[in-house]
Amino acid sequence: MGTTASQLGKDLLSEYQELTFLTKQEILLAHKRFTELLTKDEKDLPNTRVPMEKILTLPELKSNPFRKRICLVFSTSEQKDGSLTFEDFLDLLSAFSDSATLEIKSHYAFRIFDFDDDGTLDCGDLEKLVNCLTGETDDTRLTPEEMRQLISNILEESDIDKDGTVNLSEFQHVISRSPDFVR
Amino acid sequence: MASEPQGQGSGNCFPDEHQSLRFRRVSSRVSNQNYPQFNWNSTPADEDGGGDSGPRRDLKSIPLPMSLKRAVRQVQQMQVPVVSSVESWKRKKSKSLCKLKNATREFLYFFELWSKSLQKIGGNFGGGVQSYFLFLRFLVVLNFVSFSLIAGFVLIPSIIFRSAGSSPVNNTGPEACMEYDPNPQGLVVFYNYFLDLLSGTGFMEYSYLFYGYYNNTMVEDRNFSYNIPLAYLFTAVFYFAFCLICIIARMGTAARVAVATGGSAVGNYSMIVFTGWDYGCLGDRATKLKQKNIHYRLQVDLEEERIKKQAAALTLCQKILLYSLRVFMFFLALGLIIAAFYGISEATNFSQERSDEQGILGLIFEYLPSIVITTGNFVVPLLCDQIALIERYTPSTTIIVALLRAVFLRLVSLGVLLFTLWRQITCKGDTNNKACELCQYNHEVYQCWETRVGQEMYKLTLFDLLINIAVLVLVEFPRRMVVDNWSSKLAQWVGRQEFVVPSNVLGLVYGQTVVWTGALFCPLLPLINAIKFVILFYCKKITLFYNCRPALKTFRSTTSTFFFLVVLLFGWGLATVVMIYSLAEIRPSMGCGPFRFFPTMWSIVPTSFHSLSETTKEFLFFIGSQAFSIPLFALSCVVMCYFIALASVHGKSVALLRAQLKLEGRDKQFLVKQIEELSRQL
């Protein structure tokens, strides 16, 4: 199963509507944007995989500091190279959509922030995360002193079982109290 | 290492009974990282109690790739649950209902006002600025909808029944009180029309715009009767109630968020780091801005922590000095605000005394109260900011204190204006004063005092809009041009304009309060205000994109919505006090308006009451009697106590669960240590 040549069939469209949080217009728009990334001969093949470099040319992702992590997390490729099929792309859009649930958002956010893919957020992950948030250049980084204070504050607030890392359930617990996520 | 099981296809990451133990052991690490364990054997009916839309919701919120979700769906469809025909009918109904809801939501989304603009603003300037524009949109819609109420019940019947109808009360009264001549005599110079447009006098005074034009008539037919004064009164009261309901409904969601998240101080750093990024940011510039923003917030919070530690380490002598300094500064700020109030009061008196002047000078005198209020609202907060530097509160406290002072200044200055007007209209409430003796209001100066009050509110509204446009054209655009093209140190220090959200929101609240105060006396004012806010939206959008750089100190967007609505509620309260006082205490003018010969505006209700049928009268008497209201009051007390008890129980159980979570973690550590010890012993 995969995308047909230039248009989505009705059954496929309703299936995508059922399996994601996107509306019909959003899915059609996503399909249009995705096919723009394909070359001419790729358009005829079903289920093409677009390499990460091309995905990162999308204006919405181009300047996002987490762009590489996002592609790696949503990619289902066996080589873990961040390439996306159309269905991976829809999964990406669905997780970021406004109607997505807290569980989905927190699950994927955790995976995006887990830079070393070990299932927990330890000090190294947190440091990389803060650097992404504040910018990579020298004048926008926090000083090492501030970084240390910040990471110890974060661990004190979120690490409930005091094992030095934040696991998925602790992360979800912190997120659920954020005003942006309480519906 | 983990690549081999991945290559097998879709089914390998789940504890499927067909997999060998070896595969499961190798892939278990992979599956724990990436995909949650999914129970293939659960039926849809078990998932949650009702289970109607359960399966569909579950599919969407399973964090799996699409191909796996499809496989799950196939499995679920194969497991046909054994349900009764009633159950399956219910399930079908709820499915079609869901589809209908989605379709209507997509349809309504088409009608949402300015949604693209708001998204663009949010992406480029962040949630705080976007919340200002969302608030503005809410006020526009509120004004339009509430105006449609007024139009339907007061304006259109007045237009239709202009010449028909009779008065419900005898037209008697002292001759002198009934004089009212709003139309100017003789030839009018052309520019007077323009002045009249700005001040609501002349040709605009005797029109549907103001209270004085509406008739004191009641239309009665065989099957149809319409009492215009009663309609006017009830529409005004219902307008206030409707606005209150809208505000409270909107506050409901914001309040739920504020209560659910508890104290915002706890979990601050984790919150910023884990939820701070806005994935809607578009472009390099917006991203860099957001990064700078987050950097600033983190620095500010860390700095605040350091300041708190320092403050806790102060000696007693230093503490006493700091507190006495703060008390002194508080009184200084209060003194400044009271000076502003005195200025407004004097300006209003002066303006009312000199209301006969003609020409440009007359216009300036008419607008004097508005000018003084605007100047005060601009100068006093600047001075208070300087005072705040000396007070040395923590940054978050400083912002809140500044906002509270600004709110107090704005709303009470409007109150001072109204109080001064009241003093002149009712001769300071003293009915034995020579001027007020005859008609219980000052009929020499105010032949139709309601129209005059309406005119003051109209002038305030217009002046607010004119000032905003003037500042935009004369201050903000030139400032940007100077800063961009003149590279000197002074220009760089001044910098580009910052879009400061709190003061802009206070401007909106002030404008809306003026409209609410004036709605009783100037029924078209909500429509004028809606148009004014639409113009303001586009002006502010233009200035935002062309002249402003985003503020580093952002306002938290979700708690700020709640704060804006609370402040709006204060404004509503002030307007309600004014309305109730005007309805109940002051005698309406005898020369104009729908309440011409009633002792108070409210007294039309008892008069019309007696014309109702017997059963309706008895029913209304019963509702108002003690036999009904005391049990109702007791019942609502009981319901409130129930909800308070429920809320406290939930709070306690949350705290208990948190403590349990900590204990679980410690148990886990203990067991791990035990395992290590045992394995060492082996």
Q: Specify the CATH number for the domain of residue A78.
A: 1.10.238.10
Residues B106, A66: C-beta atoms closer than 8 Å? no
Q: Which range is most confident: B182-191, B570-579, B594-603?
A: B570-579
Q: CA A112, CA B234: separation in Å to the nearest integer?
A: 58
> Which residues on A lie below 8 Å from B268 (Cβ)?
157
pLDDT for the residue B550: 63
Q: Which of B377-391, B431-445, B515-529 has the highest average model confidence (pLDDT)?
A: B515-529
Question: Quick check: A161 and B267 CB within 8 A?
Answer: no
- Whether A81 and A117 map to the same domain: the answer is no
Same domain, A46 and A107: no
CA distance B344 to B370: 9
Of B183, B131, B44, B66, the closest CA to residue A1 belongs to B66
Name residues of chain A where pLDDT drops below 70.
1-6, 179-183
Residue A97 Rama label (left phi>0; alpha psi -120 to 50; beta): beta
pLDDT (0 to 100) of residue B240:
92
Check pLDDT > 60 for residue B225: yes
A119, A168 contact by CB (below 8 A): yes
In a domain, A5, yes or no: no
- Count of structural domains within chain A: 2
Question: Which candidate from B269, B287, B662 shows the least CB-CB separation from A63?
Answer: B287
pLDDT band at B395; cut points 50, 70, 90: low
A161 and B294 within 8 Å at the Cβ level: the answer is: no
Cβ-defined contact of B295 to A134 (cutoff 8 Å): yes
Task: Using an 8 Å CB-CB cutoff, list chain B residues near A76.
Answer: 65, 67
**A101 vs B33, B61, B106: nearest CB:** B61
Residues A14 and A88 in one domain: yes
Residues A107 and A128 in one domain: yes
In angstroms, the separation between the Cα of residue A51 and the nearest Cα of chain B is 18
Model confidence at B530, in pLDDT bands (50, 70, 90)?
very high
- CB-nearest to B66 from A19, A78, A150 is A19
The predicted complex's ipTM stands at 0.86
Per-residue pLDDT at B635: 94
Which pLDDT value is given to residue B516?
A: 93
Is the pLDDT at B568 greater than 50? The verdict is yes
Rounded to the nearest integer, the mean pLDDT of chain B is 77
Give mean pLDDT, residues B166-186. 67
User: CA-to-CA distance for B627 and B13, rounded, in angstroms?
Assistant: 69
A86 and A107 share one domain: no
- Do A17 and A88 lie in one domain? The reply is yes
**Region B175-186 average pLDDT:** 68
Contact A177 B32 (CB under 8 A): no
Q: Tell which wins on pLDDT, B354 or B410.
A: B410
Of A96, A127, A161, the last residue of a domain is A96
Measured between alpha carbons, how far is A19 from B56 in angstroms, rounded to an integer?
A: 8
Closest alpha carbon to B542 in B476, B596, B444: B476
Give the highest mean pLDDT range of B24-33, B179-188, B245-254: B245-254
Nearest to B665 by CA among A120, A164, A131: A164
pLDDT of residue B34: 42
Indicate the DSSP class of residue B226: E
Q: Is the dihedral of CA B619, B620, B623, B626 positive or negative?
A: negative
Find the residue in B nearest to A161 (Cα): B665
Q: State the nearest Cα–Cα gap between B297 and chain A, in angstroms.
A: 10
Closest CA to B571 of B423, B457, B414: B414
Cβ atoms of residues A95 and A108 within 8 Å: yes
Residue of B nearest to A173 (CA): B658
- In this prediction, residue B185 carries a pLDDT of 58
Residue B380 pLDDT greater than 50, yes or no: yes
Measured in angstroms, the CA of A8 and the nearest CA of chain B are apart by 16
| pLDDT > 90? residue B184 | no
Beta carbons of B511 and B464 less than 8 angstroms apart: yes
- Within a domain: residue A4? no
Q: Cβ contact (<8 Å) for A18 and B59? A: yes
Are A126 and B66 in contact (CB < 8 Å)?
no
Residue B66 with chain A: CB contacts under 8 Å: 16, 19-20, 87-88, 90-91
Confidence (pLDDT) at B147: 92
Q: In this structure, are A81 and A107 located in the same domain?
A: no
Which of the pair, B620 or A44, is modelled with greater confidence? B620
Nearest Cα residue in chain B from A127: B273
Tell me the nearest-neighbour CA distance from A98 into chain B, angstroms.
11
Residue of B32, B273, B661 lying closest to A133 (CB–CB): B273
Residue B33 is predicted with a pLDDT of 38
Task: Name the residue ranges covered by the structural domains of chain B.
Answer: 111-611, 612-656
Mean pLDDT on B637-659: 90
The answer, as to whether pTM is greater than 0.95, is no
CA separation for the pair B678, B682 (Å, rounded):
6
Provide the shortest C-alpha distance from residue A56 to chain B (in Å).
Answer: 12
* Residues A85 and A114 placed together within one structural domain of the fold: no
Q: Which of B69, B262, B298 sits opposite A177 (nearest CB)?
A: B262
Q: Which band of pLDDT confidence, cut at 50, 70 and 90, is reported for residue B531?
A: very high
3-state SS assignment for residue A166: strand
| Containing structural domain, residue A121 | 102-181
Report whether pLDDT(B544) > 60.
yes
Q: Report the pLDDT value the prediction gives residue B265, as an integer from 0 to 100.
A: 47
pLDDT band at B512, cuts 50/70/90? very high
Q: Which residue of B has its CA nearest to A129?
A: B273
pLDDT of res. B25: 35
Q: Contacts of residue B277 in chain A, CB cutoff 8 Å?
A: 65-66, 133
The answer to whether the Cβ–Cβ distance between A161 and B36 falls below 8 Å is: no
Q: Is the pLDDT of residue B257 over 60?
A: yes
| Residue B252 tokens, joined | 């409901």
Question: A20-24, B33-37, B524-528, B556-560: lowest mean pLDDT where?
Answer: B33-37
Distance separating alpha carbons of residues A25 and A16, to the nearest angstrom: 12
CA-nearest residue of chain A to B277?
A133
Other CB atoms within 10 Å distance of the CB of residue B677? 10
Mutate to test the interface with B, among A13, A34, A63, A140 (most CBs of B within 10 A): A63
Structure tokens of B676?
A: 């290590």
A117 to chain B: nearest residue by CA? B33
Among A150, A177, A178, the residue with its CB nearest the CB of B298 is A150
Please report residues of A whose CB lies closer than 8 A to that of B44. none
Say if the Cβ atoms of A163 and B669 lie within 8 Å. Answer: yes
Q: Where a domain ends, among A27, A62, A96?
A: A96
Which of A19, A126, A175 has the CB atom closest to B59's CB atom?
A19
Q: Are strands B225-227 and B218-220 parallel, antiparallel or unpaired?
A: antiparallel
Considering only alpha carbons, which residue of chain A is nearest residue B557? A180
Q: Given B56, B292, B558, which is nearest A140 (Cβ)? A: B292
Percent of chain A with pLDDT over 70: 94
Are residue A34 and residue A64 in the same domain, yes or no?
Answer: yes
Q: How confident is the model at residue B266 (pLDDT cuts 50, 70, 90)?
A: very low
pLDDT of residue B551: 61
Instruction: Tell if the CB–CB gap between A23 and B282 is shorter than 8 Å.
Output: no
Residues A134 and A166 in one domain: yes
Same domain, A163 and A85: no
Selecting from B65, B270, B298 the residue whose C-beta is nearest the C-beta of A91 gives: B65
The reply to whether A46 falls in a domain is: yes
Q: Do B261 and A182 touch (CB under 8 A)?
A: yes
Are the beta carbons of A64 and B70 separated by less than 8 Å? no
**Do A67 and A37 share a structural domain?**
yes
